[in-house]
Chain A
């Protein structure tokens, strides 16, 4: 499924400056693999060695945190918008 992926500023050095990229993937896990093949080095910035999503990386599909969906196995539909957002900050 072709999806739009928003890349945060700190990772754009790996996407040759692109803020948004297109990728074809069936679920989030697959998407990370596809992004890695298009932009080598990106996977390492998103997941730990063991394959777990890094603590300060948040992934949203159409504005919904994937931890409220099925995590890395959440399936992707044609036209989904995926946002990668590093550590969201708050108050107090």
Chain B
């Protein structure tokens, strides 16, 4: 029988002990104050639980949970945890733990601290983003509609698989998102692969290409008759009520940190350096903020040379509250009602608007709006000059870049990276009436000869 050792028996630890005993595990619990202080909990848990010292709990556990105040992580025994899976539930609370400089500077994470302390163990982060009380009340059997999901993180795939099975036994699994389309595709795809139940909330007027690109993974798609901002507000309320894992709302720290990979890829593809300028399309404002953070972290780690990258924001004229902040030089965001063909950027009340504004200002960047006409021309320009077919959001970025160059904000001789965040096949409708087919012929060489002569005469004219 598998034994779960617990180092720490506070709110999370005692709840996990209850779940483990209820699912047939043996548990050995410990805390810093001594086994005798745990007699009431052991009595409640019954014969499958016993209290011990932290060293004994570490030795006895096949899987060991570390759930101590973060400031005490160095007291966790090292040697008895060699080769074992260690579940880390810790979060950083400076008011409790005191300031930890390497966390304040974001040069490491709480789990990396623990992993560094336990170099021969396999640390998996879990159970750190759920209220302790809900651990025993929100779990439901696999297959239950609306089952709640919990997220984990770690470097060892086998250890993560083991922890995933444990969480599944404890009763959690639904992921969800509010999306203008692209995130919906990703959440539905990843949920399918991970066998998670997923709910995807989108505005009802979304482009069919994006909806099909979500439906194919068979999530539950909820079309909301309203703007994206209304979908988002609704989802914040649903997340609160049903306790689902909305990847971009109540799990936003994970989603936001994930956006840094865009910055990592830019640096990597440039041969490990950051460009002088980056132009980023903004909807909620998260991507721009996190690309800036990615460059900063890579510099702090010494992976790219020191230097400043000007971050520029691109938004549609019909939905550009962040660019309006930048142009008016105010940190107060005025929400707008979106009116643009760039539906993936149609967020009138961007959550990270203030942060995106600040990242642009601190970096010496600027922002530009693009009208619907300019967006379409931007899409066409990128296709005919670079061979890249982008959706409307990419058209916004190209159009804004053009304006930033024309106004001198981006000097013509400096390197610039522009972020093309979506494929053109998702929004072909906007080009439907703009592009004409050239010629239709019978399948004979003579028909083609005539057509070619005709086409060439037009080109010359």
Contact = CB atoms under 8 A, between A and B. Distances in A.
B241 A90 contact: no
Interface stretch (A24-32, A35-43, A58-66): A58-66
A83 B233 contact: yes
B232 A90 contact: yes
Interface string B340-367: 0000110101111010000000000000
Contacts of A91: 179-180, 182-183, 248, 283-284, 286, 344, 347
A31 B255 CA distance: 34
B23 interface: no
B347 A85 contact: no
B178 interface: yes
B240 interface: yes
Contacts of A67: 334-335
Contacts of B354: 55
Contacts of B249: 88-89
25 contacts: A9-B240, A56-B351, A58-B233, A65-B335, A85-B236, A85-B237, A86-B236, A88-B229, A88-B233, A88-B249, A89-B236, A89-B246, A89-B248, A89-B252, A89-B284, A89-B286, A89-B351, A89-B352, A90-B285, A90-B350, A91-B179, A91-B183, A91-B284, A92-B284, A92-B393
Contacts, number: 82
B374 interface: no
Nearest 4 CB-CB pairs, A to B? Answer: A90-B284, A92-B283, A89-B351, A90-B347
A6 B421 CA distance: 36
Nearest to A12: B240
A91 B421 CA distance: 11
Interface size range of chain B in the complex: 35 or more
B287 interface: yes
Given A55-B354, A63-B230, A92 B344 contact: yes
A21 interface: no
A58 to B, nearest CB: 7
B370 to A, nearest CB: 15
Contacts of B171: none
Given A89-B232, A91-B283, A92-B281, A8 B240 contact: yes
Contacts of A89: 178, 232, 236, 246, 248-249, 252, 255, 284, 286, 351-352
Contacts of B283: 90-92
Contact of B236 (A8, A55, A65, A92): A8
A19 B350 CA distance: 25
A85 B281 contact: no
Interface string A62-92: 0101011000000000000001011111111
Given A87-B351, A89-B351, A92-B284, A68 B335 contact: yes
Contacts of B60: none
B345 A92 contact: yes
Nearest to B284: A90
Nearest to B332: A55
A62 B77 CA distance: 54
A63 B234 CA distance: 9
Contacts of A55: 333, 354
Interface size range of chain A in the complex: 20 to 34
B89 to A, nearest CB: 19
A56 B344 CA distance: 22
Nearest to B131: A9
B230 to A, nearest CB: 7
Contacts of A68: 335, 337
B335 A90 contact: no
B228 interface: yes
B347 A19 contact: no
B282 interface: yes
A30 to B, nearest CB: 23
Contacts of A85: 233, 236-237
A90 B248 contact: yes
Given A19-B240, A58-B349, A92 B282 contact: yes
A6 B237 contact: yes
Contacts of B337: 68
A49 B422 CA distance: 42
Query: Chain B CB within 10 Å — which of A8, A87, A88, A92 has the most?
Result: A92
A55 B349 CA distance: 11
A11 to B, nearest CB: 10
A56 B283 CA distance: 16
A90 B178 contact: yes
Contacts of B248: 89-91
Given A8-B240, A67-B335, A68-B335, A90 B351 contact: yes
Contacts of A86: 236
B286 A88 contact: no
